[in-house]
Amino acid sequence: MESLSDATALPENQRPWVRHYGAIPAELPPPEYPNLAALISASAERFAERRAFTSCMPNGMNGALSYAQVDEASDAFAVYLREGLGLAPGSRVAVQLPNCLSYPIVVFGILKAGCVLVNTNPLYTATEMTHQFRDSGAEALVIVDMFVDKLPEVLPHTAIRQVVTTSLAQGFPPVVRQVVKAVLKYWNRVIPPCPVETTALGEALAEGRRLGQGVTVKDYWRDLGPESLAALQYTGGTTGVAKGAMLSHGNLLANVAQIEAMSGSHIGDGEECVLTALPLYHIFAFSVNLLAFFKHGAHNVLVPNPRPIQNLQRAIENYPISWISGVNTLFNALLNEEWFTLYPPHRLRAAAAGGTALHAAVAERWETVTGTPLVEGYGLTESSPVISFNPLVGTRKPGSIGIPVPGTEIRLVDDGGQPVAQGEPGELTARGPQVMQGYWQQDEATAETLRDGWLHTGDVAAMDEDGYLRIVDRKKDLILVSGFNVYPNEVEDCIALLDAVQEVGVIGVPDADSGEAVRAYIVTRGELDPETVKAHCRKHLARYKVPRQVAFVDDLPKSPIGKVLRKDLRADYLKDHPQATDGSPAC
């Protein structure tokens, strides 16, 4: 885990946050483990008999795994990858799973095998899957059975030569498993016939156990160091082209240590029960819920789908939840549920918000209802993800994204790259051991984002005299729908495929339910209606990227060189919909 040397560190007067750390260490201690597999193995041994994961369905049906069971099964999957499939160290393995018991088994197995994890949103369309699998060079895929119908369209265009399928009910007791699978297949009708040859996860694990006789799994990861690549975590850019952020074992281990430091005594070894409603394939839940809490022997309660919000009720009522992580919309939705406000979790210690801006009114009401803090942090996929956080021990400032986590330095710079005066807004740049190695096979994009060791976030922030940060403006065009990035160019490119579309501009507008909603402005050259546009987008884009609002206009505002001025579209929208600026629903 690399730290900043005295020669390269910012002078003390440019790090005002350090004097407000209090019990938080100013620098990270030496790394405890050389790689993530070592952390996983050590925690599994230490907490072997404790319950590690419970998957809770909306009706309360559940399955569970102990730390020892996760360790044994992930060892078997590592052997399957290396001996059964013959994958070499560094081979990319794509994982397309919602929150379920299979997720930690598969992901930990990939890391133990010395392979590279490629997290993939299960809701991706065939178009999005094809791009990510081709770009990463993934050779194997683990996918939930609910989405196998997309595979015939995807696989011929990728290097994937083996597909492993699993179910939301994998790991449940036999009778319960059969009931859940029957309901999903015959009642909900969400499990289509599998049109390609695959291997069931149970069969893969059995094969791994058979081949593992005499194999020492630790030999697979013994030579992995902090610089070894652990994951390709895909993100977008201002161009909308998805790029794989290369996160090393050291990057992710550093962020785990930084999360621990900011949480202080609020995370006790073997004492916590964390509710995981955010998807584990999202970098926030991956680093916080999966890695950091696994290190401390927590009981992780997985919810496969938090929508509608009532899907969380049984998990919250049936388990002694002490931590919740989420986005603003999740916390706001819980506060609008009578079952939650009347009987909030009695063992709750804290909640962490990220992914999108936390509304001050939500934070205030949360603390009133639960009697516990709801603190906001900030980060990016490219920083594993946490850059700053409101400390749970010490001063918390409402409306702030907190102070830089230990080992991290922040500079706010102007368009010329020069530091701005204290209190003035500037682009937030950061450097620290959690910052990615670069973008996978994207040298130009890497050079643009990582300059002289500093990660340029594209977000504009201001810093007060204590070193606490406040986001002034987000990336110019990025739209955040319930914490998920939507890049206008990608949506525009999709809409432009329609013959009746002459020009299109896409922006984000305030939305009370999702934070922001996608709104498309279209100049037509033929007959077109909003439902046709939305139906077309649903074929090619994940649902959260599909425009919720479609407006037809005579022309679009443009710059002298012909670029559509999205800022003008947004300004006109807010002028015509003043109620939208206060969070009220927009028409």
Q: Find residue 427's DSSP bridge partners.
A: 413, 460
Q: Find residue 508's DSSP bridge partners.
A: 518
User: Could you tell me which residue, 14 or 463, shows the higher pLDDT?
Assistant: 463
- CATH 3.30.70.141 assigned to domain 1-30+231-475? The reply is no
- Integer-rounded Cα Rg, in Å, for the chain is 23
User: Could you tell me which residue, 383 or 238, shows the higher pLDDT?
Assistant: 383
Greatest CA separation found in the chain? 71
At 496-507, the pLDDT tens digits run 889 899 889 999
SS3 67: helix
Strand 62-66 to strand 51-56: parallel, antiparallel, or no bridges (unpaired)? antiparallel
- CATH 2.40.50.140 assigned to domain 480-582? The reply is no
Q: How far apart are CA 492 and CA 556, in angstroms?
A: 13
* Whether the predicted model's global pTM rises above the 0.75 cut: yes
- Helix or strand run (H / E) with residue 166: strand 162-166
Mean pLDDT of 301-324: 95
Assess whether the previous peptide bond of 308 is cis (omega < 30° from 0): yes
Domain ranges of the chain: 1-30+231-475, 64-224, 480-582
At 440-476, the pLDDT tens digits run 999 999 999 999 999 999 888 899 999 999 887 666 6
At 32-55, the pLDDT tens digits run 999 999 999 999 999 999 999 999
Q: How far apart are CA 116 and CA 121, in angstroms?
A: 16
Architecture of domain 64-224: 3-Layer(aba) Sandwich (3.40)
At 370-383, the pLDDT tens digits run 999 998 999 999 99
Q: 380: which residues sit within 8 A by CB, 6+ positions away? A: 235, 387, 455, 457
Residue type, 479: I
Question: What is the pLDDT, as a whole number, of residue 1?
Answer: 45
Q: How far apart are CA 155 and CA 135, in angstroms?
A: 13
Q: Find residue 470's DSSP bridge partners.
A: 462
Asked whether the domain spanning 480-582 has the same topology as the one spanning 1-30+231-475, the reply is: no
At 509-538, the pLDDT tens digits run 999 888 999 999 999 988 999 999 999 999
Nearest to 398 by CA among 331, 448, 470, 325: 470
Angle between helices 67-79 and 201-211 (to 10 degrees): 80
Cβ count near 122 (within 10 Å) = 19
At 90-129, the pLDDT tens digits run 999 999 999 999 999 999 999 999 999 999 999 899 999 9
